[in-house]
Amino acid sequence: MEGHPGADQDCSPQEGAQAPPRQEGRLLGHPEKRRQFDSVDESIDDEAVPTGKEPADQFYALWGPVFEREGRFSEPKNGPVPQLGDANSTREQVNEFYDFFYNFDSWRSFEYLDKEINEGSDNRDDKRYTEKKNRNERARRKKEDNARLRNLVDKALSVDPRIKQFKADDKAAREAKKNKGRPGANGAAAVDPRKAAEDKKKAEEEAKLKAEQEAKAAEQEKSAKADAKKQKEAAKKAIKKEKKALNKLITDNNYFQAAGAPTPQVIEAQLNELDSLCEKLEAVKLAEYRKKAEAASGAEAIKAEFASAAKEAGIGASAFA
């Protein structure tokens, strides 16, 4: 995409999608590009979702904005996006809402994160390789986004107080039908009002204690996830840095070919293997092999370090052998 912000020449997809003011102005006048940008707008956090452990009376306030955010990707041909509603929504309205999102038809796409193709390059094989990688990355991101939305809807459905009430009503109706004609209220013996009040108070106290414990556990889980996310991002950046340096070693040494331009098969095999190395080895290991390769004398010695890395990664027939 022309004017792709933050694009570089390494093998990783673009990390951000924040368009500069001048480019954003151009996007506003181009519906297709505007959609591509909106699909990955960094100002909107897809991961901002309730834990599912919040009090029931907060369900509508917490989940309503989440579904409004997701609903913006609905294809216009499908008509208005149904609202989450409230405690007074009918069973039909609630079922219609969940049916809509379980069968959600999204226009969201991920072209905006494509690796930029060097249109000035004469190497058509490089262009085809980049285009293929972009298509695969788009398909992967789309699949992951569909799964993310499905999990989100599953979570909301599991904690929706209306669904719980519908199930309770259905159960009560079955019991009433079953006990019809029996002596006493619903066929049951009379209940001592004093004991009923005591039982209710005890249940409320237990529910309060449980809610406090769950809230504390949720906070601890949130903190642990935040720490894990930071570590994951740091590792991702380190691998990206090493991948870029290793890619440069390959291209600077003409894909380890003695003379002439390397064949498309050689280029694709070595770049695919570099992808595999970066997936299977940690950043520390990649750095070790990169330093050895940089210190090696001659293309064959450098190539040998790549072959050693492939062996440690468990790659059988290495393209660097």
Write phi, then psi, for 74 (nearest 5 degrees).
-70, 140
Q: Which regions of the chain carry the CATH code 1.10.8.840?
A: 191-312
Asked if residue 13 has pLDDT above 70, the reply is no
CA distance 309 to 320: 10
What three-state secondary structure class fits 251? helix
Of 82-86, 143-147, 180-184, 281-285, the range with the highest mean pLDDT is 82-86
pLDDT at 318: 85
pLDDT at 289: 85
Query: Which of 9, 31, 27 lies closest to 18 in space, CA to CA?
Result: 27
Averaged pLDDT, 33-46:
74
> Which residue do the tokens 């505007």 mark?
34
pLDDT at 115: 78
Residue-wise pLDDT for 65-105, tens only, equals: 999 989 888 888 989 999 999 999 999 999 999 999 999 98
Structure tokens at 185: 């209220």
Residue-wise pLDDT for 115-126, tens only, equals: 776 665 567 787
pLDDT at 45: 76
Rounded to 5 degrees, what angle do the CA atoms 103, 106, 110 make? Answer: 140
User: Which element (helix H / strand E) includes 100?
Assistant: helix 91-102
> Which residue do the tokens 């600077």 mark?
252
CATH topology of domain 191-312: Helicase, Ruva Protein; domain 3 (1.10.8)
Query: Which of 69, 65, 9, 73 lies closest to 37 in space, CA to CA?
Result: 73
pLDDT at 3: 38
Write phi, then psi, for 4 (nearest 5 degrees).
-60, 115
pLDDT at 22: 46
Helices then strands, counting H and E runs in the chain, come out as 10, 0
Asked if residue 6 has pLDDT above 50, the reply is no
pLDDT at 12: 42
Averaged pLDDT, 177-195:
66
Asked if residue 207 has pLDDT above 60, the reply is yes
Q: How confident is the model at residue 4 (pLDDT cuts 50, 70, 90)?
A: very low
Could you tell me which residue, 321 or 224, shows the higher pLDDT? Answer: 224
Residue-wise pLDDT for 261-278, tens only, equals: 888 998 998 899 889 989
Structure tokens at 44: 């909107």
Q: How far is CA 237 from CA 5, 31, 223, in A?
A: 18, 33, 22
Residue-wise pLDDT for 218-265, tens only, equals: 999 998 898 889 999 999 999 999 999 999 988 888 888 888 888 899
CA distance 35 to 108: 7
pLDDT at 5: 38
Query: Which of 48, 43, 47, 45 lies closest to 24 in space, CA to CA?
Result: 43
